[in-house]
Structure 1
Amino acid sequence: MGYIKPLLRLPATQQLQELPEPQRRAVALVLRDLRDQANTEAEQAWRRRKGPMAAYWRAVSTYARHLAHALEQRTAVITPPAGDAPPEAK
């Protein structure tokens, strides 16, 4: 994950990243479990030929992984590039 994902620039994600490290680790573990469970759901939906549900669960899995990865980084806060500041901040 060598580049900043749009999900990681949301204010709520910034709030998660400001949590103390033990809490961030606990949330990251739950998100990793969510990722695994969502992947299982995606595979089951795909086998049942339920493409839209498979895509939904795969997206849940991806977002959970991105958030977990962000919370596990040593540098807790990800700051957006200067040109990507929210409109109210400009």
Structure 2
Amino acid sequence: MGYINPLLDLPAGRALMALPAEDRKRIEAVMRELRAEAAVNAETAYRRHKGPMYAYWRAVSTYARHLAHALSAAPICGRNSGGVACTLPKGHRCPDCSSVGIDAGDPS
């Protein structure tokens, strides 16, 4: 996914990214499983002409995929901003240094 994940702009999203790598991997696996199960439920609802349930399960699937992708994202930025190391993936805008191009070069 080549976009900035809006879930990581939330404080809870940043807290997820601050977890140890082992914990993120376990949560990522659960999110990928949830995505697959929700996608099956969405298709079942679609075939049964249950529009609201289709929309619900499709949203669950999408959010689970976004979280799994965020948790598996490549290296954390690590740039110090306001005395705190950024825990967002490289390429994502840091909360305090969004004007700095973190895609270009190593974190400082």
Q: TM-score over 0.5 for the alignment?
A: yes
User: Secondary structure at 2:3's aligned position in 1?
Assistant: coil
User: For 2:98, which of 82, 85, 89 is the aligned residue?
Assistant: 82
Q: Which residue of 2 aligns with 1:44?
A: 44
Asked if 1:58 is matched to 2:29, the reply is no
Report sequence identity in percent.
55
- Give the structure, 1 or 2, with the largest relative contact order (CA under 8 Å, sep 6 or more): 1
Moved over 4 A (4+): none
Provide TM-score, normalisation by structure 1.
0.84
Q: Which has the higher helix share?
A: 1
Residue type at the aligned position of 1:31: M
Which one has the largest radius of gyration? Answer: 2
**How many equivalent pairs are there?**
83
What is the CA-CA distance between 1:3 and the residue it aligns to?
1.4
| Alignment partners' CA distance in 2, 1:46 and 1:25 | 31
In the TM superposition, residue 73 of structure 1 has moved relative to its aligned partner by 1.3
